[in-house]
Amino acid sequence: MSKEDHLHHAQVIPLRMDGDFFYQKGMACYQKGELEQARKLLDRALRIKPNEVEYLCQQAAILSELEDYEPSISLLKKVVHELDGRMTECYFFIANNYAYLGDFEAALSEVKTYMALEPHGVFDHEARELYAMLTSEDGKSVQEQEPSYVGFHERGRAALEHGRFEESVYWFKKVIHEQPDYLPARNNLAVAYYSMDAADQAIQEVEEVLAKDPGNIHALCNLAAFFHQTGRTGEWKAVLDRLDNIYPMNPEHCGKLGSTFLFAGNYPKAYYWLKCAERRGVRCDQVFFFWLALAACRTGRLEEAETCWKQVDYFSDKPFHPFKYAKIQELMFDPAARNNFMIRDLIGKEIQDGGRPYQLFALFYSAGFNDEQMLEQAAQHSTDATVSNIAGRFLNERQSAQRDERLAIMRSVESLTGGEQETMKHPELYSFWLIVDALIGSDRNTDRQGWAGTLYYLWKKEFGNHVSQKDVASKAGTTVYRIRKHVAELTRALDNQWEEKQLHRTNEADFRA
């Protein structure tokens, strides 16, 4: 090859200005102390890879140094609440940011969460210093201020709030072993047991509390919830009657009573007690504002409900996705859901910038409620090609009155799993469907039931639930032969995807070298 040919070929090799390119440039600026330029470059990296944990954490650090504490907090919360719950050090940095903002109550809550989750973590010493500063005038250490069982309880509470129920049981049992009369641990142990589907053990723990303290409001409220959710209607009503004769002064007790009446469906009483809690100074976190928004909405106070809903901020401070909350699920499948501003707000946000599984669920949900306005908004204005394409297909399906068989595969999967409300608890199914949808492409001879059965079978297998192809074929109205055929097709497609990714990475590495 001549020198001219070589230069000609070199000119057509594209410079891959991907996320890593901007990230590395940004880090070089950061190390030189050029913080504003580093921030801009990290912004560009995040536009390409918005969910890259390393980028988000580094940008949060840069923002903190620039004294932009609130945006830094938002990025750190996105990491630990949505992307990687193992990044527990984010809680420590969030606490620092809150402390700089002067929100010492929030800072204390976050640093306690970090200390509970990482009692011997990398920032253990710094966290204890921050805790001492926030709680003590003379700077005594945490160990000098509190007995060990209080720390055990805090670790258990943090694990419970983050859905690590077995871990929380371990810590609450340690508390009870050391201090049998510490009733908050027993109440929380009951909640942990119930969350693990051990209702009998949960009720037993509550009864232990009530034997020691018959008027314990937390125990009575927990017992009412357990009876209600396990269908023990007579016992549930009896506990509610007891609660109806209690008039607490403590703001936390007022809030607990309000939330219990809320879950029982008695919205006037729920509103009354939640407002009492608010007036008496209870700490109003995002879940509390959701309770108040819902109670206000159900009692006709729409303006107040919308004001409270804004404070919920999509549960951004909480480790659970909004769709994980039972009351949200209940609202979503209420006949009036289409006109509920909270649900429309959640669905719109999920379609706009949610993670892929729930994003797909939100599109199917909108189509199921015949919400053409939401689908048109997604089809015309979404910057995500997948979202706009699927929304457009739903609209075309409605306008042409001709069923899109590839979309119908997912509807059949929803039916196999017990309906849309049950399927939303397993959003990964929608991601599984998307792979099949792309594999089938424009093929009009879609084997809807065969593919639905295949997806259902592979999903069960992936999550460790033993099920035979014969049973799935019978349930889906297809044959074992078709399921086996589609499993082989899907396996080949996934293998090809993996090989293409590996080749792409190799080519990128060669180019950079």
pLDDT of residue 376: 95
Residues 205, 183 contacting (CB under 8 angstroms): no
Task: Please report which confidence band the pLDDT of residue 126 belongs to, taking 50, 70 and 90 as the band edges.
Answer: confident
Supply 125's token pair: 């010493």
**pLDDT 10s digits, 70-103:** 889 989 988 888 788 788 889 999 998 888 877 7
Give CA angle at 230 (224, 234), nearest 5°.
60
Contact in structure between 217 and 253 (CB atoms under 8 Å): yes
Burial 261-299 (b: 16+ CB within 10 A, else e): bbbbebbebbbbbbbbbbeeebebebbbbbbbbbbbbbb
Task: Give the pLDDT score at 27.
Answer: 87
Architecture of domain 249-310: Alpha Horseshoe (1.25)
Q: Give CA–CA dist 104/430, Å, rounded.
A: 41
User: By C-alpha distance, which of 472, 361, 334, 491 is closest to 426?
Assistant: 361
pLDDT band at 510 (very low <50, low <70, confident <90, very high): very low
Q: Which of 188, 249, 246 lies closest to 214 in space, CA to CA?
A: 246
pLDDT digits (tens, 9 = 90+) for 462-480: 777 888 999 999 999 999 9
Q: How far apart are CA 392 and CA 395, in angstroms?
A: 5
Cα 205 from Cα 188, distance rounded (Å): 9
| Cβ proximity of 437 and 411 under 8 Å | no
Does the pTM exceed 0.85? no
pLDDT tens digits, one per residue of 399-422: 888 889 999 999 999 999 999 999
Residue 405: name the closest of 370, 432, 443 by CA: 443
Residue 11 binned pLDDT confidence (cut-offs 50, 70, 90): very low
pLDDT at residue 12 in the model: 40
CA–CA dist 56, 76 (Å, integer): 7
pLDDT 10s digits, 21-55: 888 888 888 877 788 888 888 888 888 888 888 88
pLDDT for 127 equals: 86
**Angle 199-212/183-195 helices, nearest 10 degrees?**
160
Average pLDDT, integer, range 375-397: 94
Residues in CB range of 18: below 8 A, 6 or more apart: 48
Residue 447 DSSP one-character state:
-
- The residues, any chain, with a CB within 8 Å of residue 35's CB and separated by 6 or more, are 29, 62, 65, 66
pLDDT digits (tens, 9 = 90+) for 444-462: 678 999 999 999 998 888 7
Q: What are the structural domain ranges in the chain? A: 249-310, 322-498
